[in-house]
Structure 1
């Protein structure tokens, strides 16, 4: 019996392509016990929204931590009221969106909870978006599974423990992917085919690869579900 699995870090308010992968999977392994990386290519503690001046980061402020700290150990900063800043930024830039009144209460509820850790808040954001997109799949945390390897070999260990037959990967992983461990384990690697849809947006020319909340604000829950399933 086929069982398709996605493995991905718990990113903040992820973009549409991530949920496209979940839509075509049976299980999501949350890669929560890997190093938190805060760099120009990091999406774990931030994502982009659209403003009158183009795209802009919506950021979670976190406490400084040593370089080898895992994602599930990262704590929020208590020196900046980032929750209020985020909600104000969202309200400022999406209040004229057609479905603002439908979507904003979900975000207010998300931000109202007193989570201590980044991973907890991020997973709450993912679960919220899964609900809005009507995606129902099982979830397992990598921190609850036993592994001894790294990189591709570790992914294979995780997949084997959940009885996966297929691994659905984003194309960004091609640069460091190795076929041999998957072939040896009898696992089929499937590369995601995702063409970003164009939908109505505020503030001028269309910008792709924003947080999924952009499509929800502009298209609403019903239409966003239809667009995601049409890709």
Structure 2
């Protein structure tokens, strides 16, 4: 059984969903420190042929709080975000098919940052027809004071995983021999170089999954998610 673990990201890039496709269980960290200027509450989209940033504004709080303890700012306008996405993609070929789902996700009433992002991941997983089980890290019975590789290994044991699948950036964080000593296989997912017809030229890669959804039909999206990667 394959396990993948990630931070919660809002409308992440396709590699996030490829990791879901490669896993049987996908754990989303809620009890992990919020990363300022990271990608938890922001991402890139296509605007007039160039990449631009959309962001979920957060209430002011300590930089040391976990993601589950952060909340959306009162100033966050769901309507403004939808208008921004509509303005950017209204001429995209699959806008009419995709925008109702984006509207449902963005208009979710949750005010907690983790809850808001987690519901978006659940809805997108279902839309893409991915069969992995989504779990929240704090619900798994381990010693959550553990950090780094030790915590990952304990999560693997707790869900009876035999293989841990991680993005390629984890090569500098995790050691195969340490996993093997624990009876675990460590593998890394490498997304393929994906390119598709896009409104702008030259092609802008690695944008939010929203961009792929706007320029590809659902069958092609499923193909890209489930086949355009390698496990090493």
Q: TM-score normalized by structure 2?
A: 0.92
2:164 is equivalent to residue 191 of structure 1: no
2:93 is equivalent to residue 98 of structure 1: yes
CA 1:158–1:229: 2 relative to 1, 3 Å: closer
Q: Secondary structure at the match of 1:55?
A: strand
CA distance in 2, matches of 1:129, 1:29: 15
Q: Is the 8 A contact 1:153 1:181 kept in 2?
A: no
Q: Is the 8 A contact 2:28 2:135 kept in 1?
A: yes
Structure 1: tracts of 5 or more residues without a match: none
Taking the TM superposition and a 5 Å limit, the aligned residue runs for 1:13-24 are 13-24=11-22
Q: Count matched residues.
A: 226
2:28 equivalent in structure 1: 30
1:167 equivalent in structure 2: 164
2:4 equivalent in structure 1: 6
1:75 equivalent in structure 2: 71
| Higher mean C-alpha deviation, range 96-105 or range 115-124 | 115-124
Taking the TM superposition and a 5 Å limit, the aligned residue runs for 1:40-119 are 42-52=38-48, 54-81=50-77, 83-119=78-114
Q: TM-score normalized by structure 1?
A: 0.93
Q: Is the 8 A contact 2:170 2:188 kept in 1?
A: no
| Deviation of the 1:121 alpha carbon | 1.3
1:159-190 CA distances to partner (integer Å, 9 max, x unpaired)? 11000100000011222223454232111100
Q: Is the 8 A contact 1:103 1:220 kept in 2?
A: no
Structure 2: tracts of 5 or more residues without a match: none
| Deviation of the 1:130 alpha carbon | 1.1
Q: Secondary structure at the match of 1:49?
A: strand
CA distance in 2, matches of 1:90, 1:111: 11
4+ residue segments displaced more than 6 Å: none
2:225 equivalent in structure 1: 228
Q: Is the 8 A contact 1:50 1:210 kept in 2?
A: yes
